[in-house]
């Protein structure tokens, strides 16, 4: 059914193209802000993925080496934020980053700043929001791959004289590669098309593909140009999904 819907969507996208003055729309695409918006989205998604990986890897490791109930509880604490929608979590971030939010109130009362800081409506806020929202998507597959890791291999590396750094680089990291791959795709792919977070936390400098598609379809009602942008996004997604299929793990079943 989904495939059917997609097929319909695709046919329609191409139909819009064929009947429109095609080349003109391609020209319009390349002369517009679209390429730079795409570049920015890819960059933001990439930065989010790297941040999630750097932040999530140690935590996944911390959970994976625990045992029994402790491990279950810690894992549950990662899963709970999944149960809260992106919209609510992004709004929650807004309440603390706001000009009158808790961070500014604290900074002002401590005398660290004399004027409230503008923490929102910029690129950093969007990056923070994306990392905050996508972090559990990274941790779950990472944890799944670490859980399977045979601890005796680490002991073997240790008894053969490898220090912690060496055994991490040569044993742990290669063996959790599938988790890193799956987590990165699970974060990167949806992050490229993210809409809510840049819309609520960002300004004009953090306008992403998702915002562009939204504006073109729901505000400007420019279906032709909107379709051009969407086809490029969908093509990107298809390539990334092909990659994802290679890395399919149990991570995402745990997530839901």
Minimum distance from CB of 29 to other proteins (Å)? 16
CB of 39 to other proteins, least distance (A): 17
Between 85 and 124, name the residue whose CB sits nearer to other proteins. Answer: 85
Going by C-alpha positions, the residue among 129, 134, 130, 103 that lies closest to residue 116 is 103
- Which of 175, 240 has the CB closer to other proteins? 240
Nearer to other proteins, 26 or 62 (CB): 62
Residues written for the chain: 256
Say if CB 89 and CB 130 are below 8 A apart: no
What is the closest distance, in whole angstroms, from the C-beta atom of residue 254 to other proteins in the complex? 10
Instruction: Provide, rounded to whole angstroms, the least separation between the CB of residue 53 and other proteins.
Output: 13
Residues 179/144, Cβ–Cβ less than 8 Å? yes
User: Tokens 């319009």 sit at which residue?
Assistant: 28
Pair of tokens at residue 118 = 């503008």
Closer CB to other proteins, residue 145 or residue 188? 188
Tokens standing for residue 27: 């020209």
CB of 88 to other proteins, least distance (A): 5
Closer Cβ to other proteins, 30 or 91, answer by number:
91
Q: What is the Cα–Cα distance from 169 to 153, expressed in whole angstroms?
A: 13
The nearest distance, CB 237 to other proteins, in angstroms, is: 5
Q: Is the Cβ of residue 29 or residue 217 nearer to other proteins in the bound state? A: 217
Whether the CB-CB separation of 141 and 182 falls below 8 Å is answered with yes
| Structure letter (DSSP) for residue 160 | T
Is the distance from CB of 196 to CB of 88 less than 8 angstroms?
Answer: no
CB 164 within 8 A of CB 170: no
Give the 3-state secondary structure of residue 64.
helix
């Amino acid at each position: 059914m989904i495939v059917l819907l997609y097929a319909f969507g695709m046919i329609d996208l191409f139909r819009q193209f064929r009947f429109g003055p095609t080349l003109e729309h391609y020209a319009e695409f390349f002369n517009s802000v679209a390429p730079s918006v795409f570049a920015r989205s890819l960059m933001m998604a990439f930065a989010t993925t790297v941040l999630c990986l750097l932040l999530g890897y140690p935590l996944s490791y911390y959970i994976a080496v625990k045992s029994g109930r402790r491990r279950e509880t810690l894992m549950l604490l990662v899963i709970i934020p999944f149960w809260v929608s992106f919209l609510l979590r992004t709004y929650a971030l807004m309440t603390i980053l706001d000009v009158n939010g808790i961070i500014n109130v604290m900074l002002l009362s401590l005398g660290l700043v004399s004027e409230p800081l503008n923490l929102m409506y910029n690129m950093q806020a969007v990056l923070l929001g994306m990392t905050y929202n996508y972090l559990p998507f990274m941790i779950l597959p990472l944890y799944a791959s670490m859980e399977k890791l045979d601890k005796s291999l680490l002991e073997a590396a240790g008894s053969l004289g490898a220090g912690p750094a060496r055994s991490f680089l040569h044993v742990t990291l290669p063996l959790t590669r599938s988790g890193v791959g799956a987590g990165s795709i699970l974060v990167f792919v949806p992050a490229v098309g993210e809409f809510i977070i840049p819309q609520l936390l960002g300004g004009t400098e953090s306008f992403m593909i998702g915002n562009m598609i939204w504006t073109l379809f729901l505000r400007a009602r420019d279906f032709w140009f909107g379709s051009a942008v969407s086809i490029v996004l969908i093509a990107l997604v298809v390539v990334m999904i092909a990659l994802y299929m290679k890395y399919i793990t149990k991570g995402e079943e745990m997530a839901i």
